[in-house]
Structure 1
Amino acid sequence: MSRQASGLKAWLVQRVTALYLAVFSIYLLVHFLVAPPADYGAWRAWVAQPLVSLGLLVTVPVLLAHAWVGLRDILMDYVKSLGLRVGLLSAAAFVFLAAGLWALRSIILVGLQG
């Protein structure tokens, strides 16, 4: 794949993920303004609803992809040392992977326990 196609793919990923995150964030904002959960049990019951769980499960990889492309572009533009850039990208990949797995596990556990 050429550099142009790779750049176009990154640009498209940023736009599509930003659109999803904006729409889902508006949904969350409206929901919590209109019907905030009264306690932890109400919050768990809300998260356990199938459509909410699905939305949250989709949000995690979408958010991580959005963050990865943005951080990767920043590091590629501003960190000139290849070794430092690879090290920073590797550290970011590890943190994103760990955070993503933890978030997905949490959502799945709440969904299963209802």
Structure 2
Amino acid sequence: MKSATGLTGSGSRDWFIQRVSAVVLAVYTFVVLGWILCNGGFSFEQWYGFMMTTPMKILSLLSVLSLVAHAWIGMWQVFTDYVTTRQMGPSASGLRLVLTSAVIIAVFAYAIWAIQIFWAN
């Protein structure tokens, strides 16, 4: 019997995606913090110039997609672990559907917004 899981249909693949996405987010954080530490007192123009380079656009896009996958898998796990009929009664399945739908809409909207910010120019 196959059960539905967060993103890929497999718990081990979801686990792997969450770990890889965490590494991508860590690399992005270190790159941005490293740039800030090496360029103290920078102006908006310098920041914009750094963030709008092609490598930073690509790394930013990877980071946004990693954040979306990471958030979706994590929230799905929280909802399936804590919003259950055993704990909340029969209304749990409806609440889980509402919460899951809200997360899907939010991460999709954030991803589109971030892509527009970095690639609309």
Task: Assess, with a 3 A threshold, how the Cα gap between structure 1 residues 37 and 2 changes in structure 2: closer, same or farther.
Answer: farther
Give TM-score scaled by structure 1 length.
Answer: 0.87
Sequence identity, in percent?
31
Structure 2 gaps, min length 5: 85-91
Residue 33 of structure 1: aligned partner = 37
Residue 107 of structure 2: aligned partner = 96
Residue-by-residue CA offset, 1:75-103 (whole Å, 9 max, x unaligned)? 11000111110110001110111111011
Q: Counterpart of 1:14 in structure 2: which amino acid?
A: Q
Choose between structure 1 and 2 for higher RCO, CA contacts under 8 A separated by at least 6 residues.
Answer: 1
1:7 to 11, 15, 22: 11
Per-residue deviation, 1:37: 6.5
Q: Counterpart of 1:47 in structure 2: which amino acid?
A: M
Which of the two has greater helix per residue? 1
Q: Counterpart of 1:108 in structure 2: which amino acid?
A: W
Structure 1 gaps, min length 5: none
**Which structure's CA Rg is the greater one?**
2
- Structure 1 segments of 4+ aligned residues over 4 angstroms from their partners: none
- The CA RMSD measured in Å over matched residues stands at 1.9
- Secondary structure of residue in 1 paired with 2:22: helix
- Secondary structure of residue in 1 paired with 2:42: coil
Number of residue pairs aligned between Structure 1 and Structure 2: 110
